[in-house]
Structure 1
Amino acid sequence: MAEKNSTCLTPRWRQYAAVIISTFAMFASGMHYSWTSPSLPKLFSNDSTIRINTEQGSWLASISLLGDLIGAPVGAFIADYLGRKEAVFFSVTPYLIGWILIAVAESYPILLLARFVVGIGDGSSYTILPMYIGEISDNDIRGRLGNFIQVMADFGALCLYSIGPFVSIKTMAVISSVIPILIYIVFPWFPESPYHLLIHGDYDKARKVLQKFRGRMEVDNELKEMNKIVVKQSAMSSSWKELFVTRSNLKALLILMGLKTIQQFSGISVVLVYTELIFESATHNGLSPSISAIIVGAVQLVFSFFSAVVVDYVGRKPLLIASSLGCAICLGGQTLYFYFQNHPNIEYFQWLPITSMIGYIIMYSYGLGALPFMMPSELFPTNIKAKALCIMDVYLALAAFVVIKLYYPTAMMFGFYVPFAFFTFSCLISIFFIVFCVPETKGRSLDEIQEILKGKGIKGNQTAPCKC
């Protein structure tokens, strides 16, 4: 009886704890992803022990995204056959290997290998974590918990921005390797996804896990609903072909490809990877590029957390629309600054680069940053979810690779305003896609969302079927 009362005091604490610990994988990812921001200026400098050129720097910035192409399908396979929890463990290992390689690197090829290995971890993490979080969460807080993926990635980036400029590359790698080790120690204490247990016929264990996550003994009704969904969806084919021949799956796939395209074409990967170099290209208000990067990272973390708080109250579509419009305005300001950078009166606008970037990060973080990582776990049925998230991550990696690889050569050849003008235009166009094609999933069960994608409204509410 005492145990029951204690769990009822904080019935959801295990959901929050499991999400926070599992998303430390995204903390490690955020540190690795932003590693190039403080590291490239050091590697470009004349006194670097591993001196590189601009082309080599662009490969260091982008090659991790090619590693995603391996990590995503491997992570999906492990999640389906060994479990979501085991897949989280797998995703952490490449991060630790990557930091070890960076710590011992004496040549450019070793750094390149480290970045590629890290990409394998990213591919696995972004495939697995939305699935695990979506399957352990209550409907009314699923969006909030799903947004922890972006919050923790931003937290990792901020820590790297804060440490990286002031220590050597090797020291930074040694410090950062603590995070994967921490996950190895703590995460084994948390349960498997109840959906995965039901898929493999372990009903009794699924009940015990659900009791732990919900903080109460009476979970039979919810478990029956879960099992009903699993039985119905498991009876359907789970082959890769189902993603393209089943109308609701194809619709979800196209919606999410659109959101991932919007996300990357807003320029976020460029901003995170080249933060210090972008600020070096724009003199502004006396702040050093390193301090500017820390400010940007701090703002991104605060507003990613803000999104996690409000997403289950405001809804997905309003946040996405406001985010896209706000990003377009801020990127437009940055575009104008770079276009008029050599104008004699530009000194009156030295505040614009840092202001525009902070505004962009605010607008991006509460909508475009968090929701495209959270919504995949909502839009696909259980039987096909791992494969769908795998394809989504591969597509995201390819889109980010193209944007990052082309950014610096384009900026050097035509001017920094050209890529930023493209990012601005992309954000404006995205508003129309969100309005007409993205369904509202706030407060809906996973089964109700499938009905919406099939073109059916939900009785008793104002949710319209998806228009695409």
Structure 2
Amino acid sequence: MEDKTVHLAPSCPIGGIRWNTLWSKMRNSCTNDLGVLQSISTRLVTMQSSSDRSDHSGLFSGTLTQLLAAVSGTLFAISDGMSYGWTAPIIPYLISESSHIKTTKQEAEWLETLIMVGSFFSLPLTIYLVDKIGRRRSMLAAAVISLLCWIIIALAGRMLYIFIARFLFGTASNMAFVAAPMYVAEIADHKIRGFLSSIIYLMMLVGFVIVYSVAPFSPFYTVPVIGVVILLIDFSTFYYMPETPYYLVYKNQIKEAKQSLQFLRPGKDIDDELNDIIQAVARQKTEQGRLSDLLTVKSNRKATIIMLVLNGGQHMCAISVVLMNLHLILKEGDSIYMPPEYVAIVFSVVMLVSSQLASLQVDRFGRKILLVVSTLVSGFCLLVLAIYFSLKDSGYDVRLVSWIPMAAVMIYAAGFKVGLGIVPIVITAEIFSARVKAAGMTIADAWYVVGSIISLQIYQWLSNAYGLEAPFYLFAVCSFLITLFTIFCIPETKGKTLEEIQMMLKGESDELAAIRSRQKYSTFVNEIGC
């Protein structure tokens, strides 16, 4: 068969151009393009390998100064946990004959209540301070107030002085628990913001462990002395940390904001991030900073609803009831395997360990999945307690399974702290815009206090009227309802900047997608060296 393939001779002229010249140019061009493509491919492989290595090496590369600022700034929470847990082991001593301060049962009840009263009535002061003097100075002021409170308690010879100290503890706690989450959220790189925001809860749980372990077995003044030492360390270390760049930009202190970023992002080019912060704050300042904007502005309204459900939901999942009635629950369940003093220690340690595990995973798995797991586990444990007490009150012999209440509260401690004990404070610090963040965080803290009081009142009323199982059935149902709310109503904020979260709450999905696309393109171009 005849070969009909057309062969163009390299020397064949086409339109005045010799084919060998054109062929040479095309071949060289393709070779150059192939080299570029190979270079890009090699760099992409390198980028992927680096990404894989970074995933395995952890989330904390280049974030040491952020970690130092967060840890030093939240040391006060150890003292705060000690002050909250102090009444449980110390009230039996105060109402005993051996007490150096004669105390009635009514006065003992006021010791538990005054810290919440102080927290509630300090709301206007907190709103004013966090925006007027800043997050950092508000945290330092709270540390000083708490320091004075421990000194008053250590030297107190009358119950009146302890009452004053407990009220001031509530004031300091409100200031600190509003300012600290704002501070941490505004200094943190988005890849570890969840972990750093959860440190405050870890510190508070350390305080519970200390007070439960020390107070029942040592002199009255021992816990106050420990509190003073911790707060001195807190003040002396955090004093040298910078204010947040967001707050400094909000106050038009651009130079100071850049210096803050340089400290928090050592060795990195911070110009782009500074510009992003300036644009984000400018955009958020267009909203009027009125209290009513928490309801009238779409993104703030969504944030407020999420905050109310999560902060109130923590207590409707029975955490305050369990913490303040642990001894009674175990006693009513005929749990004779471990004395209440030791159960309290184990309970607090379980909470601490599970919180630590959750803090390491909140930026890996995200906020929503931890909340879903936590609410399901908490609801299941509360349901088990309710069924156990129902059987017991119905006359069934439960002696062979009298270990169930103790096991249920231990699993509950772990399950609650995995999500409900960590995530609400992380999300609340992320979802409010800069203009209303102080008001939003303060209301969140106030609602947390109110939720605690409401849940305790519900528990007392239902248990007295219908038996101990009744409130636990209700709390179990609330836990499962919060699971549904989490799945359908709470956005995932993992890995997003504060500005991206605001856009997501506003429903600006197109703008958010464009920003993410530009960020990925910019990173790609920088990495391949174009």
Aligned to 1:133: 184
Q: Which residue of 1 aligns with 2:161?
A: 110
| Residues 191-215 of structure 1 deviation map (CA, whole Å, 9 limit, x = unaligned) | 1111111112221221111011112
1:348 and 2:397 equivalent?
Answer: no
Alignment of 1:204-219 (within 5 A): 204-219=255-270
Look up the equivalent residue of 1:373 and give its one-letter code.
I
Q: What secondary structure does 2:122 align onto?
A: helix
Match among 416, 429, 432 for residue 377 of structure 1? 429
Structure 1 CA distance for aligned equivalents of residues 93 and 390 of structure 2: 28
The corresponding residue for 2:489 is 437
Determine the C-alpha separation between the residues in 2 that align with 1:259 and 1:434.
9
What is the CA distance between 1:236 and its match in structure 2?
Answer: 2.7
C-alpha deviation, 1:437, in angstroms: 1.5
State whether structure 2 residue 285 is matched by structure 1 residue 234. yes
Shift of 1:79: 1.6
Residue 421 (1) aligns with residue 473 (2) = yes
1:317-328 superposed matches below 5 A? 317-328=368-379
1:152 pairs with 2:206: no
Tell me, in whole angstroms, the C-alpha distance in 2 between the residues paired with 1:36 and 1:239.
Answer: 38
Choose which of 63, 70, 94 in structure 2 pairs with 1:19. 70
For 1:343-380, what per-residue CA distance to the aligned partner results, in whole angstroms no more than 9, with x for missing partners?
46322122112211110011110111111111112101
Other structure's SS at 2:278 match: helix
Cα distance, 1:331 vs structure 2 = 1.4
Report what 1:182 is aligned to: 233
Q: 1:176 to 1:280 in 2, by over 3 A?
A: farther
Name the aligned partner's letter for residue 79 of structure 1.
V
Aligned to 1:294, the other structure's residue is in SS state helix
Q: Is the 8 A contact 1:261 1:396 kept in 2?
A: yes
Segment of structure 1 superposing worse, 104-113 or 23-32: 104-113
Which residue number corresponds to residue 454 of structure 1?
A: 506
Pair 1:364-2:416 in alignment:
yes
| Alignment partner of 1:265 out of 300, 316, 339 | 316
1:117 and 1:243 mapped to 2: Cα distance?
28
Change in 2 beyond 3 A, CA 1:59/1:340? farther
If the length of structure 1 is used for normalisation, what is the TM-score? 0.91
2:285 partner letter = S
Partner of 1:465: none
Identity %: 30
Helix, strand or coil for the counterpart of 1:190? Answer: coil
> In 2, Cα distance between the equivalents of 1:20 and 1:303?
19
Q: Is the 8 A contact 2:329 2:405 kept in 1?
A: no
8 Å CA contact retained: 1:64, 1:117: yes
Structure 1 runs not aligned, ≥5 long: 1-8, 463-468
Work out whether 1:88 is the aligned partner of 2:139: yes
- Name the CA distance, whole Å, in 2 between partners of 1:169 and 1:187: 29
Instruction: Tell me the equivalent position of 1:4.
Output: none
- C-alpha displacement of 1:405: 5.0
What are the Cα deviations for residues 221-257 of structure 1, in whole angstroms up to 9, with x where unaligned? 1111111111222233212222222121111111110
| 1:93, distance to aligned residue in structure 2 (A) | 2.6
Residue 201 of structure 1 corresponds to 252
Contact 1:63 1:116 in 2 (8 A): yes
Compared CA separation, residues 461 and 283, structure 1 to 2 (3 A): farther
Q: 1:62–1:404: 8 Å Cα contact kept in structure 2?
A: no
Shift of 1:39: 1.9
> Does 1:313 pair with 2:364?
yes
Contact 1:75-1:90 at 8 Å conserved across structures: no
Residue 135 of structure 1 contacts residue 194 of structure 1 at CA under 8 Å; is this kept in 2? yes
Residue 362 of structure 1 aligns to a residue whose secondary structure is: helix
Q: Deviations over 1:40-95 (max 9, x none)?
A: 33334454444555554443223311211233332232221111110101121332
Distance in 1, matches of 2:515 and 2:256, equals: 35
Structure 2 CA distance for partners of 1:381 and 1:59, relative to 1, 3 Å: same
Task: Check 1:120–1:323 CA distance in 2 against 1; reply closer, same or farther (3 A cut).
Answer: same
Q: Is the 8 Å Cα contact of residues 282 and 338 (structure 1) preserved in structure 2?
A: yes
Deviations 1:239-281 (A, max 9, x none): 2222222121111111110111111111112222343444344
Separation in 2 of the partners of 1:55 and 1:265?
26
| Structure whose alpha-carbon radius of gyration is higher | 2
- Judge which range, 303-312 or 38-47, deviates more: 38-47
1:6 match: none
Most deviating of 33-42 and 390-399: 33-42
SS in 2 for 1:63: helix
Q: For 1:164 and 1:405, how far apart are their aligned partners in 2?
A: 27
The AA in structure 1 aligned to 2:230 is I
CA distance in 1, matches of 2:305, 2:105: 35
Q: CA deviation at 1:413?
A: 5.8
Q: How far apart in 1 are the matches of 2:331 and 2:418?
A: 27
- 1:42 aligned residue (70, 89, 93): 93
TM-score normalised by length of structure 2:
0.80
Shift of 1:130: 1.1
What residue identity is the alignment partner of 1:459?
Answer: A
Q: How many residues align?
A: 454
Q: Is the Cα–Cα contact under 8 Å of residues 70 and 120 in structure 1 kept in the other structure?
A: yes
* Structure 2 residue identity aligned to 1:141: I
Alpha carbons of structure 1 residues 254 and 10: separation in structure 2 relative to 1, 3 Å: closer
Q: 1:95 is matched by which residue type in structure 2?
A: S
Residue 11 of structure 1, CA deviation: 2.0
Paired residue for 2:390?
A: 339
Q: How does 1:237-256 map to 2 (within 5 A)?
A: 237-256=288-307
Unmatched segments (≥5 aa) in structure 2: 1-59, 517-530
Give the letter for the 1:360 counterpart: Y
Change (3 A) 1:279 1:175: farther
Q: 1:279 aligns with which of 330, 334, 337?
A: 330
Q: Distance in 2 between matches of 1:369 and 1:29?
A: 16
What is the distance in 2 between the residues matched to 1:102 and 1:416?
35
Give the root-mean-square deviation of aligned CA atoms: 2.3
